Amino acid sequence: MKLGTRGSKLALTQAQPVADALGAELVTITTSGDAGARDGDKARWVDAIESALVAGEVDLAVHSAKDVPGELAPGLGLVAMSSREDVRDALVGAASLEALSEGARVGTSSLRRRAQLLAVRPDLEVVDLHGNVDTRLRKLDDGEADAIVLAAAGLLRLGLGERIGCFLDPSVFVPAPGQGALAIEGPVGHEAWGAPVNDERAAGEVHAERALCHALGATCHTPIGAWHDGSELHVFVGMPDGSRWIRDRAPSGQMLERLESVGVRELLADAEAVAS
Model pLDDT for residues 70-112, shown as the tens digit of each residue: 889 999 999 999 989 999 999 999 999 999 999 999 999 899 9
Which residues, in sequence order, are bridge partners of residue 60? 3
- Domain spans of the chain? 2-82+181-198, 89-167
Helix (H) or strand (E) holding 79: strand 76-81
Considering only CA atoms, which of 151, 108, 157 is closest in space to residue 10?
157
Is the pTM here over 0.85, yes or no?
Answer: yes
CATH 3.40.190.10 matches 2-82+181-198: yes
Beta strands at 89-92 and 147-151: parallel, antiparallel or unpaired = antiparallel
> Would you identify the CATH topology of the domain 89-167?
D-Maltodextrin-Binding Protein; domain 2 (3.40.190)
Distance between CA 107 and CA 95 in Å, rounded? 15
In this chain, the answer to whether the domains covering 2-82+181-198 and 89-167 adopt an identical fold is yes
31-81 pLDDT tens trace: 877 666 555 555 667 888 999 999 999 999 999 999 898 889 999 999 999
Percent residues over pLDDT 70 in the chain: 96
Distance between CA 160 and CA 50 in Å, rounded? 30
SS3 content of the chain, % helix, strand, coil (to 5): 35, 20, 40
Tally the residues of the chain.
Answer: 276
Considering only CA atoms, which of 160, 202, 152, 176 is closest in space to residue 18?
202
Distance between CA 27 and CA 7 in Å, rounded? 9
Residues labelled catalytic: 67
